[in-house]
Amino acid sequence: MFVNLGLVGQPLQHSFSPFIQTCFLKSSGINGGFCCFETDGGESLKETFLTLRQYGFKGVNVTVPHKQAVIDIVDTLDPVAETVGAVNTVRIGDRLEGFNTDAEGFERMLLDAGYDLSGKDVLLLGCGGASMAVLYVLKKYNVRLTVVNRTLSKAEAVLKSMSFDNVQLQDYNFIKGDSGFHYVINGTSIGLEDGNFPDMNRVECSCASVDLQYKKGLTPFLQSMRGSSCGLLDGFSMLVYQAAKAFEIWTGVYPEFSVETISGELGLS
């Protein structure tokens, strides 16, 4: 049997998903292919899913800008997608089933690297859409959480929507003073354009610093955390782990992979 998989979003020309999913097909010994479908929102998005079903596609990843709009197209939502308010994976069968694998991707990336979040002190920078999957996991592990966000009212709304109480909410003056955490996580888009990140010298991190961003070499945030004696994980690992969970949802097989090998083959390391 040939397994048709794909990606729906716009634009897609720089996506690493086709390469990553093709690695999984190979390592799992599954005969299949992965196609990109650039599509507008609204009726075009609905038509895309009807066509994918007609052509026997087993599943697709969904990326920007359609992660929220797809919620209205799928027939069912898994609890994570419902809480986080975004779908990044759809299983196509008699019904369209929406999932969010970002949260499990984040969790599994840390577990596989030997980290345990249970009851730990965590600093989360940024509280927008990308941080919501992280918050889902942090809540599960009952962490002691401090959130730093530029716009405190936006962070308050996100934390409320996820019923996350018992959080210290701070502005960026917080990182100008001495503090210490087991984990420091960057969920902001700071530095994406100019490569600059606020000075993190006064923030000690003892376990791992995790950035949801990725690029060739160290991201601006991870560069600023290099002084701490902690592990450094970037968003490429999370991308691969969320992709692996999506692959498992479509095929029933959790693939074998090495993030370092995939990243090397893509010229990122």
* CB-CB contact of 60 with 92 (8 Å): yes
By CB under 6 A, residue 196 contacts ligand ATR:
no
By CB under 6 A, residue 39 contacts ligand ATR:
no
What letter would DSSP give residue 174? Answer: G
The b-or-e profile of 31-65 (16+ CB within 10 A means b, else e) is ebebebbebeeeeebeebbeebeeeebbbbbbbee
What letter would DSSP give residue 255? Answer: P
Residue of 189, 201, 258, 269 interacting with ligand ATR (CB under 6 A) = 189
Instruction: For residue 206, say whether it is annotated as part of any ligand binding site.
Output: no
* 67 in active site: yes
Instruction: For residue 154, say whether it is annotated as part of any ligand binding site.
Output: yes
Instruction: For residue 63, say whether it is annotated as part of any ligand binding site.
Output: yes
- Rounded Cα distance between 3 and 175, Å, is 48
- Rounded Cα distance between 68 and 117, Å, is 28
Question: Which single residue brings its beta carbon nearest to ligand ATR?
Answer: 128
Residue of 21, 101, 188, 237 interacting with ligand ATR (CB under 6 A) = 188
Is residue 109 within a helix (H) or strand (E), and if so which, with residue range? helix 102-112
By CB under 6 A, residue 127 contacts ligand ATR:
yes
Residue of 35, 77, 113, 190 interacting with ligand ATR (CB under 6 A) = 190
| x-marked contacts with ligand ATR along 141-170 as a string, rule CB under 6 A | --------xxx--x----------------
Between 140 and 154, whose beta carbon lies closer to ligand ATR?
154
Instruction: For residue 146, say whether it is annotated as part of any ligand binding site.
Output: no
What letter would DSSP give residue 184? Answer: E
The residue annotated as part of the active site, out of 58, 67, 120, 139, is 67
Peptide bond into 11 cis (omega under 30): yes
- Rounded to the nearest angstrom, the gap between the alpha carbon of residue 244 and the centroid of all alpha carbons in its chain is 12
Residue of 18, 129, 164, 204 interacting with ligand ATR (CB under 6 A) = 129
Catalytic site positions: 67
Binding site for ligand ATR (CB under 6 A): 126-131, 149-151, 154, 188-190
- The annotation places the binding site for shikimate at 15-17, 63, 88, 102, 214, 242
